[in-house]
Structure 1
Amino acid sequence: MKVCLKCVLKCTLLLVVLVILVVIGYVLYVCVDYNRIEDNVKLSVNKASSEEAEKKIQTDEGKVPVGQELGITSYNIGFGAYSHDFSFFMDGGKYSRAIDKQHVLDNTEGAINTILYQNADFAFFQEVDTDSTRSYHVNQLEMIQDAFANFESVHAINYHSAYLFYPITEPHGKSNAGISTFSKYRIDSSLRRSFPVPTGFPDKYFDLDRCYSISRIPTNVDGKELVLFNVHMSAYTDDDSIRTNQVKMLVDDMKKEYEAGNYVVCGGDFNHDMIGNSDEVFGNKPGDYSWTTPFPEDLIPEGFTIGLKTLNDEQMKEIVATCRNTDKTYKRGENEVWIVDTFIVSDNVEIINYENIDADFKYSDHNPVKMKFKLLSE
């Protein structure tokens, strides 16, 4: 059987042209689909699903009491993927999605129960997916809201993306990731602020939108509010100016609230080394990771305190890391770890107790943090 060389060349050429057209079409799709989320977006408040709790929240009991001990937690739940057997492709690991849907459900439920056990008045969550390929379209927000039926909540989309066809063997797909704030007290209003992010190609498609939310909760002192800042900063940018400008924007907003006489509590995933020497403290192997850049404490304005800084030397010796490297699966003592999650408070907020919770990274690549505090009267 003779092979027609001309036919083979023609078919090969057609195939190459087809591949080129598909690639061009995909690039155009990603570019056209890309859009930055607007700044200063008002967020809707999700009322408590418990009718009895919501009625109480709408009375004077829904105002935060000044002088009373309160509790708050923060937990990056890692879109439900990061069980001990998970490693992430962006960090040199294996998977671009959670191992399977059941892992997402189990990890999300485990993270929820970890926070419910703390019995706090406020809870911050980051990396909460609502309809993402990587988390098999599990609605994590709905799961958390169902579990926190006695809480009001707000949810801000931190970033979303077109369908990312990378890696080829298991595409990361489309993402819808957000930050969620839960409160036993009444949330009067909430606002999403957009952090500055890289704008050059291809950074803006891979280091996506980042944001923080500002939620206002009335206190029982007329005219004063507790203002909660839930934060998730950029992880993968190597542009120091982006990191600096994100911090400056955040602390400027915090300062305005403090100067207005309000109480400020800011917490979340800062994607910085919040103690500045995590490698030394935890005995990490040398590595160059963008999210372990030391936090620029000199940018924190007067009148604010980083929660970690209230711990004494003995407490710091026992401190637990809040983030693990996901270049490989987790085994205690064998992964690089850092502290990237914490709280920052204004001076009219007294920190009674601060703790990084040792959850052994069972449900996420992060451990949660918690803080007990009270609002000071003048």
Structure 2
Amino acid sequence: MSGDAGVVEGPLHGYHHETYVAPLPGGEVRWKCREPRPGLLWFDRRCFASEEELLRALQRRIDGIPDLIQAGSASLQRFIEGETLGALYGSGREIPPFLLGQIVSLFWQLARVKPDSLAAERTCTSDDRAAEGDTAEFLERLILFTEKRVYRRNMPKFEGLFRDLDLHAGSFGHLRKQVSGLTRRPFCLLHADLHRENFVIDAQGRLWTIDWELAMFGDPLYDLATHLYLMRYPQDQESRMKERWRAAVEDAAPGSSAGWEEDLPKLLAFKKAQSVFTDVSRTALSLAEEPEVDERVLVHAGGRMQEVLRAAATPLGIDSPTVEHVTASLEKWYFKNYTPVGAERLPRPGPRPRPCVGS
């Protein structure tokens, strides 16, 4: 499509897709072409048949989303030139007010997109959708997806690791008790993955929102909970974001923030619990991609997993494990699944300072 293999850049870093970027002949704008990576585990519910079809339906309704172009049989997204928010302001850092305002504006626009107003094919049937405003049933569908599609489906591969970390079927019953009793709120479009790497800042300071493949219709407060959980704002800026979000969605669709102060902790509890099954599985599988799995690699991976497990201890009703226990469980699982019979295991690490994790 580019007419010159020398101008093609890629594959770009990404978990779900293999992505290449290139200009089309005679044009200066670059476009991205991507395909899903085969054999990947999907840890999140997907509700739209095509991200490109969704973006096409959202043109002139949501600011700062990629344009599209048809190149033969391929639908290409414009590649947004710039830096991700995470590259400019890493996890835990405060972001400038002019960017925070653009994120608030995005929430306002999302709250105005209602389920019956968007012409984009959805993969879920009407029987598999929560009734309008039924936030409790919306959350139950998300819990069921995690329970059936992440935990049960991957049990054959991760059974030993789940068991050693005290993750079992009863964890979901405990979680349901922790998050029950949500207030009804009018549904709207959710991006459902608004973190620092999905925001791109161009040379003019404009914020663009990318990677809409996890978008869905549902509880607007769930989008805020996901955003806060992934962004890791400093505490004072998080408080400002909550208040500005409330004002924005109420202006866009009255009732969208009903009961938010009582329900936000419940939705954050779900996000913490969901991350356990996602991050434990991904971290374990990532070891197979390491050129060499030594004590340092295992301790670093174990430290990341321990942080996630500690955060979810209350929602899942489990004890918070030590780094040493998590690392030993991970090592045991890895050598059982990836080491040839008869190969020698690593020496057991002794007590050591708690590893530094995060960005």
Bigger strand fraction: 1
- The TM-score normalised by the length of structure 1 is 0.22
Bigger helix fraction: 2
The structure whose RCO (Cα within 8 Å, separation 6+) is larger is 1
